[in-house]
Structure 1
């Protein structure tokens, strides 16, 4: 799915997505032995419809984020973007994503936020329903991945704020 294509949600295939995440985690660990890897995003939440793209968080020491992202790019991952403390890559590439790999500082703010949001969605049906309603509206109206992500941002922050500081 290219970044400018419409987002389509599919019914949860949680067990399949969890297997895919595990297999990719093994590969990533072989390239980045010091990494901590977690399955994140909607595909990590049982029963939640999602884009059929598995998101993984790769936690590295503070100085290793950029180096690790470039190591993955050297090994064929498509490095889509970088900013301080966060890089993201696609597999096999951004025009046909099966995975999005987020490289973060392990235990940094963004790492904690992503894992906390996943854990809230897994454990809290009300938050999960609120998020799903926004996802469905965003998927129906967004013109691409960027619009889709921006359309969900307010509810993500709202759900995290309800729980309190990280």
Structure 2
């Protein structure tokens, strides 16, 4: 999926996406010592329509985020962006994405939020339905990948906040 094209959601192919995630995590595991890996995003949620791109979360020590990202770029991943303690890469490239790999500090806020959101969508039918509605509307309105992602930010925060308040 090209990041400058409109976003297209496809019906869930959960078992295929899980297989793809497992294969990519095995590839990364061979390259990145002591990394923690998780399949995240909508492709990690059974039955949820998604962009046909599998998201992988790679957790490492904070001081290794950039070096691990650089290593992945050196072996064929496309380094798209870097922030403090978060880098993201596409595979095979940003113009033909099959995977997006997020490298973050293990157990950091970024790590915990992504895992918590995935787990919430897996376990809460109401949250999943609300998120799906937002995804569909965002895909219709977004001009590109970034617009789509930004359009979902508030619902992600809202759903995570409501979960945190229930647990408190």
Cα distance in 2 for partners of 1:151, 1:109 equals 21
**Corresponding position of 1:96:** 96
**Corresponding position of 2:8:** 8
**Corresponding position of 1:126:** 126
Question: Deviation string for 1:55-94 (max 9, x for gaps)?
Answer: 0000001111000000000001000000001000000000
Q: Which runs of 5+ in 2 are unaligned?
A: none
Cα distance in 1 for partners of 2:99, 2:127 equals 25
Q: TM-score, normalised by structure 1?
A: 0.98
What's the secondary structure of 2:100's corresponding residue? strand
Q: Which runs of 5+ in 1 are unaligned?
A: none
**Corresponding position of 1:77:** 77
Query: CA RMSD, aligned part only?
Result: 1.0
**Corresponding position of 1:136:** 136
Deviation at 1:38, TM superposition (A): 0.1
Deviation at 1:21, TM superposition (A): 0.2
Question: Deviation string for 1:131-165 (max 9, x for gaps)?
Answer: 00000000011000000001001100000000117
Question: Deviation string for 1:89-124 (max 9, x for gaps)?
Answer: 000000000000000000000000000000000000
Q: TM-score, normalised by structure 2?
A: 0.97
Question: Deviation string for 1:39-63 (max 9, x for gaps)?
Answer: 0000000000000000000000111
What is the number of residues matched between the two proteins? 166
